[in-house]
Every structure is written in C-alpha cells, then in structure tokens.
Amino acid sequence: MSRGLISEDIIDRIRERNDLTRIVAKYAGPLVLAGDNFQCRCPFHGCKSPSFTVCPRYQIFYCFGCEYGGGVFRFMKRLRGTSFLETVRDLGREVGIEVP
C-alpha cells in the first residue's frame, strides 16, 4: 500500500526505529507493566485511571477511555496535531532518516 509521497520502505524503517513504548513513555509519562502490556494515563483525554494501553509486541496502543488507537505515527500525529507526512518527517529526523 502506498501512502503517496513517501515509500513504504522508508515508513517501515522509521516505524521500526521509533519504539512505541519509548515514545509513549517520553510524552505521556511513566508506564506501568500490566501483563504483556504497559499502561498509563491517556494524554488525549482527562482520565484519572490508566486507561491507555501500549502493546510492545505489536507496537500499537489503545485507549479504553476515548477509544483512540493505532501505531506510533497515529500517536504523534494526534499529540502534535501534524499531518501524516509531517509526522513521518519529524520521527524520521529523530532517528537520522531523511524523508525526501
């Protein structure tokens, strides 16, 4: 599947190097291990309980409070309010991959 201007190969490489667990811990605060997953308070809605779950194995997240989920790009896209292309560029820059 193509996403327009950026090749899937580059998108995959950027996704692989931006570990979702590390990114969420960096921007959403401390993660608590719960079974095979990590949990924390959701950065997207004002929850008091840790309803935000990260699955490190599949590199996906899901919030049971606001029902938002996805991978590292969707997390950063929502967090920063950037487009998909800008999000890929930003994350690429952080790991030294220049997006043409």
Minimal distance, residue 21 CB to Zn ion, in Å = 17
Integer Cα distance of 87 and 50 in angstroms: 25
Minimal distance, residue 63 CB to Zn ion, in Å = 3
Q: Which amino acid is at 64?
A: F
Residue 14 to residues 22, 31, 53, 78, 84, Cα–Cα distance (Å): 14, 23, 22, 18, 13
Q: Considering the rule CB under 5 A, would residue 27 count as an interface residue with Zn ion?
A: no
Please name every residue paired with 55 in a beta bridge, in sequence order, or none if there are none: 60
Minimal distance, residue 67 CB to Zn ion, in Å = 8
Contact present, 44 and 68 (Cβ < 8 Å): yes
> Which residue, 41 or 89, is less far from Zn ion as judged by CB?
41
| Binding flags for Zn ion, 31-60, as an x/- string (CB under 5 A) | -----------x-xx---------------
Contact footprint for Zn ion (CB under 5 A)? 42, 44-45, 63, 65-66
